[in-house]
Amino acid sequence: MESIGDDLRVMQRTPLAPAHVAALREAGTQAVYAAGSYLARPGQLADRFIYVVDGEIELVNAYTDERHVPSTLGPTQFMGEISFLNGGSFSMPMRAVCDTSVIEVPRATMLTLMSQIPEMSDIIIRVFSARRRGQIEQRHSTLVLIGEELDRDVRCIAEFATRNRIPYSSFELGSAEANAVAATCSLAPARSAVIFGRDTIVADPTPDKVARLLGLNLDLVDDEDFDVLIVGGGPAGVAAGVYAGAEGLCALVTEDIAIGGQAGTSSRIENYMGFPTGISGADLVWRGEIQAMKFGTQFAMPRRVAQLEVLTDGSFCATFDNGRRIRAKAVVVATGVQYRRLPIERLAEFEGAGVYYAATDIEARYSKGTEAIIIGGGNSAGQAAMFLSRTASRVRLLVRGRSLAASMSSYLSSRLEAEPTITIEYGAEVSALHGSDHLDAVTIRDTADGREETVPTRALFIMVGAAPNTGWLADLVKLDDKGFVLTGEAAGADSPYAASLPGIFAVGDARSGSVKRVASAVGEGSVVISKVWEFVDRGRRA
């Protein structure tokens, strides 16, 4: 994918073809916005596509009412952002600089038009993607965080936004920028806060509240029907979403934390075909998410399936953690795994305040200048060590065994051994955590002789073990002794990805016997849809 500079030039200079504009005119209606009027405000549903015929539209800073960037949108250009594809909300205010004439096409009509004219769709999606990356890199957003470095709730929102590629600005408590925003919002200075636009201060901030403001949570209608429900938004789930949409299935992907799953926490994947210089897990899955949305697959998050029931007609009813229910003819389980919590005293107390289970840009900021301790011997731990070595003063990788050969790719272990700022300590474990409101130090024990060393650190990363997220399925399908979903012959099914109950399929890390690699998860998610389509089609014909 092109650099951000290339993408911004595409956004500003590549017009739609005359035939595309003609299709917009036929499908939409013409409207005129007077100078100074707003075409979009933060949180407003992105329910229409807007093409500029004449005039000028500017991006506005929600806190100062001034133009946010020097460039504006003029004739032959169009408004919109990536949230348009999934029925989300506008994230920035847009205002007419002068009397501006536009063509407006309702979202549903526009999506149909894009599916019929792929060349136009490619231009629009490329521009939308460029705008999102530009927002993230330049921190152009209406979502503002104050006090992330001190407030755990604000830090949780920062992690949620980072992992879901949501643009936001973050200011230190007491900084001039923070005080200026606080004054604009009539907020007391020196107070941590999550703010969305001048008028919305999010009380007791949670990812769900922020997702609702941005339209990410997809407010589903009770008993809404889908052909397939894909539970889990990691590589396997997103790949299934791409192929389900491409095959014409009405598909919904749900994720309870962040699109990308555990793979989204990998800072650099170097052994995925097609990316010789590597790609972050978050970026890889984000590209897949856009591709899936292009084909009409919907995404809802943070949404957790609390209960799954089989209905009398053989279809399924899924109840989410907010009480809403949807129906689906088939279910793909792509819930992956999560790192195990270690039996270390005070561990829960420091989670999010010095103890982390991911190594993304945001955790790298928290690790700056400190000694980072990583527990684990797999590829994820190795990738985290290499990534954190750029910002941490030193990285210590604690491996319980005596070798990395069985658990880590050879290219990665060689890199670790060659990096002077990384130390690999075999037969080592963390025996104690120290600190008050935040982690200050850990005690490391040598399992061979029992010797202990207390090391000052503000960042401990736990990346060990793999516990499947399948508890909600225990009464419906057969699981192996570790909780992974049995499929194929082991489940008495005729498909390698079919579970013991017809209509339920499992792919990726949640499937018993799967290869725990991103590439294999993508492959399984892609392949399973052919069997899902056959199952749904049989049901339709019956």
Q: What are phi and psi of 150, to 5 degrees?
A: -120, -30
How much of the chain, in percent, has pLDDT values that exceed 90? 67
Identify the band that residue 5 occupies on the pLDDT scale cut at 50, 70 and 90. Answer: very low
Among 277, 274, 226, smallest CA distance to 254 is for 226
Using only C-alpha atoms, the chain has a radius of gyration, in whole angstroms, of 24
Which tokens belong to 259?
């699109």
- Other Cβ atoms closer than 10 A to 351: 16
The answer to whether residues 98 and 80 touch, using CB atoms and an 8 Å cutoff, is: no
Report the alpha-carbon distance of residue 110 to residue 120 in Å, rounded: 11
Task: Return d(Cα 478, Cα 511) in angstroms, integer.
Answer: 11
Q: Taking each helix axis from N to C terminus, what angle separates 379-388 and 410-418, rounded to the nearest 10 degrees?
A: 30
3-state secondary structure (DSSP) of residue 170? strand
The tens digit of pLDDT for each residue in 143-169 reads 999 999 889 899 999 989 988 889 999
Region 201-230: mean pLDDT is: 90
Please compute the mean of the pLDDT values over residues 7-27 and round it to a whole number.
Answer: 79
pLDDT at 93 over 50: yes
Flag whether pLDDT at 216 surpasses 90: no
pLDDT at 499: 97
What's the average model confidence in pLDDT over 376-390? 92
Nearest alpha-carbon partner for 75 in 59, 99, 92: 99
Q: Would you state the pLDDT for residue 30?
A: 97
Give the list of residues 6+ apart from residue 34 with CB closer than 8 angstroms, or none: 96, 99
Q: Is the pLDDT of residue 530 over 60?
A: yes
pLDDT at 13 over 80: no
Supply 386's token pair: 């290499």
> Residue 344 and residue 394: Cα distance in Å, rounded?
23
Window from 114-128, 186-200, 443-457 with minimum mean pLDDT: 186-200
Residue with more model confidence, 368 or 267 = 368
Could you give the 3-state DSSP secondary structure of residue 444? Answer: strand
Position 269 scores a pLDDT of 83
Which burial class, exposed, middle or buried, applies to 270 when counting CB atoms under 10 A from its CB (0-12, 13-18, 19+)?
Answer: middle
Could you tell me which residue, 261 or 154, shows the higher pLDDT?
154
Give me the mean pLDDT over the 394-398 stretch.
96
Question: What are the strands, taking DSSP E only, across 183-242?
Answer: 193-196, 224-231
Over residues 393-408, mean pLDDT? 89
Q: pLDDT: is 361 or 394 the higher one?
A: 394
pLDDT at 1: 37
In whole angstroms, what is the distance from residue 514 CA to residue 528 CA? 13
Task: Looking at mean pLDDT, say which of 79-93, 234-248, 397-411 comes out highest.
Answer: 234-248
Share of the chain above pLDDT 70, in %: 98
Confidence category of residue 9, pLDDT binned at 50, 70, 90: low
What is the pLDDT averaged over residues 117-123? 94
Dihedral sign from CA coordinates of 19, 21, 22, 27? positive
The most confident of 147-151, 248-252, 471-475, by mean pLDDT:
248-252
Q: What is the mean pLDDT of residues 110-125?
A: 94
Q: Summarize the confidence of residues 3-28 as an average pLDDT.
A: 74
d(CA 454, CA 339): 24
Position 171 scores a pLDDT of 93
Q: Which residues pair with 355 in a beta bridge?
A: 351, 460
Q: What is the pLDDT of residues 314-369, one digit of tens each?
A: 999 999 998 999 999 999 999 998 878 899 999 999 998 899 988 888 888 889 99
Q: How far apart are CA 456 and CA 371, in angstroms?
A: 7
Q: How confident is the model at residue 29 (pLDDT cuts 50, 70, 90)?
A: very high
The predicted pLDDT at position 2 comes to 39
Q: pLDDT (tens digit, 9 = 90+) per residue, 412-471?
A: 999 999 999 999 999 999 999 999 989 999 999 999 899 999 999 999 999 987 789 898
